[in-house]
Amino acid sequence: MTIEVGDRIPTTQLVKATEDGPEQIGSDEYFAGRKVALFSVPGAFTPTCSAKHLPGFVEKADELKAKGIDEIACTAVNDAFVMNAWGKSAGVDDKVTMLADGNGTFAQALGLEMDGSGFGLGMRGKRYSAVINDGVLEQLNVEAPGQFEVSSADYMLGRL
């Protein structure tokens, strides 16, 4: 079952990519007490994710924060080392927090997993963006397969 607006984010573990290495963090703790703009990509270093999705949120970080977003986070079914390397190569600095969902448990708990086996990717998370306020889903924008329209930073800005 897919999470819906008004639902609480399920309790799972994520891994925050840091300069000191991977840091385990519970979803309850991470989303508590603040408004987070979260976006999910099928995979780090993949074409649309690297050329449009992540750069859009880096570019619009100040505008999103001016509209009440406390933190911007990117998640993918990749390990923390890959997420950290991708963040560095994209120049995210302190604008976007890179959250690894290495086993896909977060994507699965949200009901937003996809089977990318036909492309050699295995199980991944769908492309989406969301606004989570104190652990509760306020906005969810899930893309149709192969699309990049409703999960962009610009689309989210227009809905805040």
pLDDT score, position 49: 67
* CA dist., res. 132 & res. 42, Å (int): 20
SS3 65: helix
pLDDT for 113? 92
Q: Where residue 124 falls among pLDDT bands split at 50, 70, 90?
A: confident
Decide which of 3.30.420.40, 3.40.30.10, 1.20.1250.20, 3.40.50.300 is the CATH code for 13-159: 3.40.30.10
The string of pLDDT tens digits covering residues 55-93 is 899 999 999 999 999 999 999 999 999 999 999 999 999
Residues with a known catalytic role: 49
Output the pLDDT for position 18: 81
pLDDT at position 103 over 80? yes
The pLDDT tens digits for 14-49 are 999 887 889 999 999 999 999 999 999 988 887 776
Domain ranges of the chain: 13-159
**Is it the case that residue 99 has pLDDT exceeding 80?**
yes
Q: How many Å apart are CA 31 and CA 132, to the nearest integer?
A: 7
How far is CA 127 from each of CA 19, 32, 148, rounded to the nearest angstrom?
Answer: 26, 23, 8
d(CA 14, CA 80) in angstroms, rounded, equals 9
